[in-house]
Structure 1
Amino acid sequence: MKKTFTLLLTILFLQSCALGGDREQIVSVEDRYTLAVPSFLSKANDLNNDASLQYMNGIREFYVVVIDEPKDGLQQLLDENDLSSIYNNDIDSYADISLNILSNSINSPVHGEVVDTLINSMPARLTTLKGEIDGIDVFYYIGAYEGIKNYYQVLSWTLASRESTHKQRMNKVLCSLKETHPRKKY
């Protein structure tokens, strides 16, 4: 039953990636990756110091950042912090660590179902997270991806009260991440 439910969730995620609606802009970050974001978002530079891409619309309360990190950087982090016996250098551990860090920064975190899937030939894990930051209820839609040499996090968030308004757009953003160099088989 659980496998059927997970398969159904994966199919729904992938179908919603193909849904139309809003106009998009394709943002290219150097020669590493592209991401499609709603055209009503503008470039930002103060959302996350580690982000290689940052877009937002403060009026609509819609925010997107991408953090990309070399795979060998994760291994170095695991080795330096004696975590190699707990975590592996793989997409599952990268997603777990990233989600744990984000969860620890918000009050009363509520995690959604984690969906393992492929997005543009990259293994990916998608999930949601709700919680409260500085007295404000927020909703995150999060993707973790394994590229050829890098891991990627796409974090999209809004006010919890705007979840139903933005959730489909957020999912489209998460489903649009593409590495720009040729893929090798895993």
Structure 2
Amino acid sequence: MKLPQKIIFLSLFTLLLTSCVEPSGNKKNNTLLNTDFELIRVNNQYSIELPTFMKESEDLNEDASLEYQNIFKETYTIVIDESKEDFISAFKDLGEFNESLSIAKNYKNIQLQFLGEEVSISRAEDIESSTINGLPFEITEVDATIDGIDIGYTLAFVEGENYVYMVMAWTLQNKHDKYRDLFQKIVKSFKVISRRKGVKKSVN
């Protein structure tokens, strides 16, 4: 049985090192939406569109199936996927699965609880609850502090046919306004695709 993973970030040292490289600012930059994007397919299980200025990483979260970053722009994106059947079974056994809520909302609530054990959350705001690309979506913004660093997160919790997913994009809190629309575009581009054996991660 695989429980939803606690969110542990190894990028904070990078954030500290790069905080003086690019000027901080909280002004929205809608021109970022016009940047070039690339379609990333992961294990022929899901796809997501990411800015071409973000490159693949291997040290953001050991449980993530996708990790991308730009250390100079201080933008980071990961995807964590869990067996939907195992998730439901485990938290029903623990008495923590709320039958009156959707699976996506249950997953959101539990992952936010785990996040709160790792960081100090000052704001958690539900942004959108809808169906996007045929999938139940819950989108939440979180402001939090970890090791004295203020971080702004955009989180999407998604229910697929066989898996539940958490899509997380984050930056320094004083840059969250600048990247908010871009992060929304990233998380809303998430799609589940058909799966075939023997297909590895690819970039189109």
Q: Normalising by structure 2, what TM-score?
A: 0.74
Aligned residues of 1:103 and 1:109 also touching (Cα < 8 A): no
Higher relative contact order (CA 8 A, sep 6+): 2
Q: What is residue 130 of structure 1 aligned with on the other side?
A: 143
2:113 is the counterpart of 1:100: yes
Percent of paired sites with the same residue: 28
**Aligned match for 2:69, one of 56, 65, 71:** 56
Shift of 1:113: 2.7
Aligned length: 162
In structure 1, the partner of 2:27 is none
Counterparts of 1:16-165 in structure 2, within 5 Å, are 20-80=33-93, 82-84=94-96, 86-88=97-99, 90-165=103-178
Q: Distance in 2 between matches of 1:175 and 1:144?
A: 10
- Name the amino acid aligned to 2:88: Q
Give the unaligned 5+ runs of structure 1.
1-18
Give, in whole Å, the separation in 2 of the partners of 1:108 and 1:116. 21
Consecutive unaligned residues of structure 2, counting only runs of 5 or more, are: 1-31, 196-204
Q: Which runs of 4+ in 1 moved over 6 A?
A: none
Matched-pair contact (CA < 8 Å) for 1:26–1:34: yes
TM-score, scaled to structure 1: 0.81
Distance 1:149 1:127 in 2: 22
Question: Within 2, Cα distance between the matches of 1:96 and 1:120?
Answer: 22
Residue by residue, what CA displacement relative to the aligned partner does 1:57-104 show, whole Å, maximum 9, x if unpaired? 111110000011111120232145x225x4347121111111221122
RMSD, aligned CA: 1.8
> Are the equivalent residues in 2 in contact too, given 1:40–1:57 (CA < 8 A)?
yes
Show CA shifts across 1:1-47 (max 9, x none): xxxxxxxxxxxxxxxxxx94111011100110000011100101111
Aligned to 2:34, the other structure's residue is in SS state coil
Cα shift at 1:181: 1.9
Mapped partners of 2:185, 2:69: distance in 1: 15
Pick closer, same or farther for the CA change 1:63–1:94 going to 2, 3 Å. same
